[in-house]
Structure 1
Amino acid sequence: CHKWSEQELKARAETTQDRTFQMRNTAMDALVALIADLSAARQAGVPDTGLAAARQAQRRAQFMIDFVEAENSNGFHAGQEAVRILGQAVDVARQGQLTLRPAVKPSAAQ
């Protein structure tokens, strides 16, 4: 059903999966940095109301990452969409960190 050779298909799949995996790692790093900043904010005594937006961002970013992970093709079936969703996860996680900036220094996990 494909017009390309087996080698070409394999190379395309590996390239797509490598790019998706790299973006997944970037998204995971952003999420871990947000979690570290949330922890620091909580330890600094920031009230729950001051953590709410960052917690919501954590849930959204985690859902996006989980969605791509659960799809389980590492981006091969819909590479552009997987990378788009992971890019959004990075953005949401970083936005969550920004909501904590008045109370907490940026984490070293970034």
Structure 2
Amino acid sequence: MFSRWTTPILWTLKEYGRQRFVELERRITTISPKVLTQRLRQLERDGLIERTYHAEVPPRVEYEISAFGLTLAPLFATLADWATEHLPTVEQSRRAYDDRGGPRP
């Protein structure tokens, strides 16, 4: 059910509302189109997002977080609070790591 991309996709849909594939792809810049497609299908199957197909020319597909997916909103808020509180520590750890030259055998 959950993968590395579940949280960024759900958070993006919660934060920005209904979006087309290309909008999600622009906002989650590190995800490949193939993986985004796979994750969207799985999240739809799990009931966490809703996919709406508009029979137009050209066809349009939109994704939005479902009511069930919104039950995860308190977790997103907790993650955001944690990030705000601990980001300076993470940045300090990154600098220390980089100053050491990365991993050591």
Same fold (TM over 0.5): no
Greater helix share, structure number: 1
TM-score, reference length from structure 1:
0.27
Greater strand share, structure number: 2
TM-score, reference length from structure 2:
0.28
